[in-house]
């Protein structure tokens, strides 16, 4: 009998195709520990801005946007969520916040409800996106996710060496963060 695979979904807050955060998410997927599978979701920029007028839970005569339905389905079926976020003007990127808003609905029963969520990210500033990660954890927690504070990895992009993301000083804590999140999934099942 084989062990169950832990299914994690990584939400990427950066819309830029070559962003370091997108690369971090892919690295998390590529280097996930045995028994863990990470699906990278990188289409948050395609979602309409949240409005109750667009949400069938609040406006039953409307159809749910296909991208929102897809996101809710992917996150809803995952065992846990890894959020990978840059820091824009000292806080969470709009596309990521919008996705969290969509995932928080219907209130009390959204796709994030009770799921273990870890937040990591990369940013240029000397604090490596600390404010964005804090704001993301706050938003996810209010949206119903079970924030795992111990999953916290911040990368100061201005300090990247010539090995870039392949540096063991980056890979090892990233893999440890994914493993910690997977451990929390096992606790909650």
Task: Show the domains of the chain with their CATH numbers.
Answer: 6-188 (3.40.50.360)
- Cβ-in-10-Å burial (0-12, 13-18, 19+) of 126 comes to exposed
Is residue 68 a contact partner of residue 103, using CB atoms and an 8 Å limit?
no
Q: Residues 33-91: pLDDT tens digits?
A: 999 999 999 899 999 999 999 988 777 888 999 999 999 999 999 999 999 999 999 99
Q: Helices 130-142 and 94-103: crossing angle, nearest 10°?
A: 20
Instruction: Supply the pLDDT for residue 1.
Output: 46
Q: How large is the average pLDDT for residues 12-23?
A: 93
Q: How many residues does the chain have?
A: 189
């Amino acid at each position: 009998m084989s062990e169950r695979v832990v299914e994690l979904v990584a939400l990427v807050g950066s819309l830029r195709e070559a962003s370091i955060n997108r690369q971090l998410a892919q690295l998390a997927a590529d280097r996930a520990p045995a028994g863990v599978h990470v699906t990278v979701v990188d289409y948050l920029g395609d979602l309409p801005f949240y409005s109750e007028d667009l949400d069938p839970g609040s406006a039953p005569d409307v159809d749910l946007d296909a991208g929102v339905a897809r996101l809710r389905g992917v996150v809803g079926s995952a065992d846990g969520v890894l959020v990978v976020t840059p820091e824009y003007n000292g806080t969470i990127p709009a596309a990521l916040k919008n996705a969290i808003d969509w995932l928080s609905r219907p209130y009390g029963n959204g796709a994030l409800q009770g799921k273990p969520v870890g937040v990591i990210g990369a940013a240029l500033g000397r604090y490596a996106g600390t404010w964005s990660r804090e704001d993301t954890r706050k938003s996810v927690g209010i949206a119903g996710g079970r924030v795992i504070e111990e999953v916290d990895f911040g990368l100061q992009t201005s300090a990247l060496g010539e090995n870039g993301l392949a540096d063991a000083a980056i890979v090892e804590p990233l893999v440890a963060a994914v493993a910690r999140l997977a451990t929390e999934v096992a606790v909650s099942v």
